[in-house]
Amino acid sequence: MKKLVVCLMIGLGWMSFSYAGGNAEAGQGKAAVCGGCHGVDGNSMIPSFPKLAGQGELYLTKQLIDIRDGARSVPQMSGILTGRTDQDLADLAAYYSAQKVTIGATDPELLDLGRQIYRAGIAAKGVAACSACHSPTGAGNAQAAFPALSGQHADYVIAQLKAYRTETRTNGQAMMMQQVAALMSDKEIEAVASYVQGLSE
């Protein structure tokens, strides 16, 4: 319960950049270069590249700004966002936010464990339920800038959780994800990642 309260307090009170909102129509025109890796409509066909379709606009804008400015290291995107203004990135986020994410499949062998972790956490380790911040359906929390997870590639989710665990990704809110991932085993990370891949709103 304590972690849920902290999650809500941080989400409702946090925002480190000025956000005026994006224009989805303008974003569509600016997204041409993104399609090769993330798909024309934001549904990447490459498991190591995230699906952007249906992602919260606020969250996605923050991530794009962080990548452009070096607060989040994504070597595959080196130079791609150079010269893009905050408005350009907000427009891209608005476009992808308006798209519908495609849902993948959960590995049946990982379903029970993944569902348990996502819905109830890992009580013995003090790991809060993923659904507390990311919603029971995986839709995220757009106002708090907590990302949508529904349909996201398992490979990508695994990579991000491990990056949080090793603190090679540190641009999350108040180190919440680093603290969570640090308590999870590889098997638990794999299971919850597989679960969200098949999680439908």
d(CA 175, CA 38): 27
- Confidence at residue 173, expressed as pLDDT on a 0 to 100 scale: 80
Confidence of residue 77 (pLDDT cuts 50, 70, 90): very high
Q: Of 49, 42, 62, 29, give the one whose Cα is nearest residue 142.
A: 62
Confidence of residue 6 (pLDDT cuts 50, 70, 90): very low
Domains in the chain: ranges and CATH: 2-7+103-197 (1.10.760.10), 20-97 (1.10.760.10)
Q: Of 143, 40, 36, give the one whose Cα is nearest residue 100.
A: 40
Q: Looking at the predicted structure, is the pLDDT value of residue 4 above 50?
A: no
What is the pTM assigned to this prediction? 0.90
Confidence of residue 172 (pLDDT cuts 50, 70, 90): confident
Question: Picking from 57-71, 94-108, 138-152, 167-181, which range would have the lowest pLDDT averaged per residue?
Answer: 167-181
pLDDT tens digits, 37-51 = 999 999 999 999 999
83 CB contacts (<8 Å, ≥6 apart)? none
Task: Tell me the mean pLDDT in the region 9-26.
Answer: 64
pLDDT tens digits, 120-161 = 999 999 999 999 999 999 999 999 999 999 999 999 999 999
- Confidence at residue 60, expressed as pLDDT on a 0 to 100 scale: 98
- Confidence at residue 72, expressed as pLDDT on a 0 to 100 scale: 96
- Confidence at residue 16, expressed as pLDDT on a 0 to 100 scale: 46
- Confidence at residue 20, expressed as pLDDT on a 0 to 100 scale: 65
Q: Looking at the predicted structure, is the pLDDT value of residue 187 above 90?
A: yes
The answer to whether the beta carbons of residues 105 and 154 sit under 8 Å apart is no
d(CA 106, CA 179): 25
The answer to whether the beta carbons of residues 126 and 114 sit under 8 Å apart is no
- Confidence at residue 201, expressed as pLDDT on a 0 to 100 scale: 65
Taking CA atoms, 193 is separated from 22, 123, 125, in Å, by 30, 18, 18
- Confidence at residue 10, expressed as pLDDT on a 0 to 100 scale: 42
Question: How many Cβ atoms from other residues are within 10 Å of residue 146's Cβ?
Answer: 25
Confidence of residue 18 (pLDDT cuts 50, 70, 90): low
The answer to whether the beta carbons of residues 134 and 148 sit under 8 Å apart is yes
Q: Looking at the predicted structure, is the pLDDT value of residue 29 above 50?
A: yes
* Average pLDDT in the chain: 91
Task: Tell me the mean pLDDT in the region 61-68.
Answer: 97
**In sequence order, what are the beta bridge partners of 146?**
141
